[in-house]
Amino acid sequence: MNLFELNAELRTDMGKGASRRLRRLADKVPAIIYGGDKEPQALTLDHAEVLQHVEHEAFYSHILKLIIDGEKHKVILKDMQRHPFKPKVTHMDFQRVSDNDTIHMAIPLHFINEDVCAGAKAGGTIQHHMNTVEISCLAKDLPEFIEIDLADLDVNGVLHLSDIKLPEGAQILELNHGADHDQAVVSVHRRGGAAEEAEEGAEAEADA
């Protein structure tokens, strides 16, 4: 797996005022790294370098390589704050990980074979109910994305969380809460199905 690399420097000037100056005058991104057996450390990153990476979907579900004063750290991105209307990243939180740490991450879902989906070919409409899924796994087994194959999904068919094929050792966190948390991921309905059912229901009430 190719790792994203980010260069960082340790930061000594703390506080909101110092962070604002970093963002405004030096075009830097304040950040923090925590976890493992080390104390949290305040960092700064180059904003231009950060922007190059955050445009990639995989950046959010990868093990990243953070280089701090020449020392390499394996991390995951736990939180990122953006400016409300400017294309600027205003803060980042990183967690240190090792290969055998169990981590929780939101992983993108990639839906494949929509063009040959049985239900779509029969005139149905594909409806996505979620685009990511929260999983737990060892850091070394973290998938970049999870594929959902729609080729055999027919009209009125539904794929649930329990239908997702996961990498070995991975678990979907939502399913740990019981069978009633087995949510729909993607489904196929006949076009206009919901509207037609509502209209039929209204007609039935009028005739009653």
DSSP string for residues in 89-116: EEEEEEEE--TT-EEEEEEEEEEE-GGG
Query: How confident is the model over 153-176, as a mean pLDDT?
Result: 95
- Please check whether the domain covering 103-198 is classified as CATH 2.160.20.10: no
Q: Is the distance from CB of 74 to CB of 64 less than 8 angstroms?
A: yes
Asked whether residue 15 carries a pLDDT value surpassing 60, the answer given is: no
Residue 7 has pLDDT above 50, yes or no: yes
In this predicted structure, what is the pLDDT of residue 11? Answer: 84
Q: 103-116: per-residue pLDDT in tens?
A: 999 999 999 999 99
The structural architecture, per CATH, of the domain 4-97 is: Beta Barrel (2.40)
User: Residue 6: pLDDT above 60?
Assistant: yes
Of 15-24, 51-60, 132-141, minimum mean pLDDT range: 15-24
4-97 and 103-198 agree in CATH topology: no
SS3 36: coil
- Span 173-178, average pLDDT: 94
Q: What does the pLDDT read at residue 188?
A: 96
Residue 202, pLDDT above cutoff 50: no
Q: Is 44 within 8 Å of 28 (Cβ atoms)?
A: yes
Q: What is the mean pLDDT of residues 41-46?
A: 93
Domain borders along the chain are 4-97, 103-198
Helix (H, G, I), strand (E, B) or coil at 162: helix
Q: Output the average pLDDT for the chain.
A: 87
Of 5-19, 26-40, 87-101, 187-201, the least confident = 187-201
pLDDT at 207 over 60: no
Provide the 10 A C-beta neighbour count for residue 79: 11
Q: 204: pLDDT confidence band, cut at 50, 70 and 90?
A: very low
Please choose, from the candidates 168, 156, 170, the residue with its C-alpha nearest in 3D space to the C-alpha of residue 120: 156
- For residue 122, give Cα distances in angstroms to 118, 119, 152, 154, 155: 6, 5, 12, 8, 7
Confidence band, pLDDT 50/70/90 cuts, at residue 87: confident
In single-letter form, the type of residue at position 162 comes to S
Q: Which residue has the higher pLDDT, 161 or 24?
A: 161
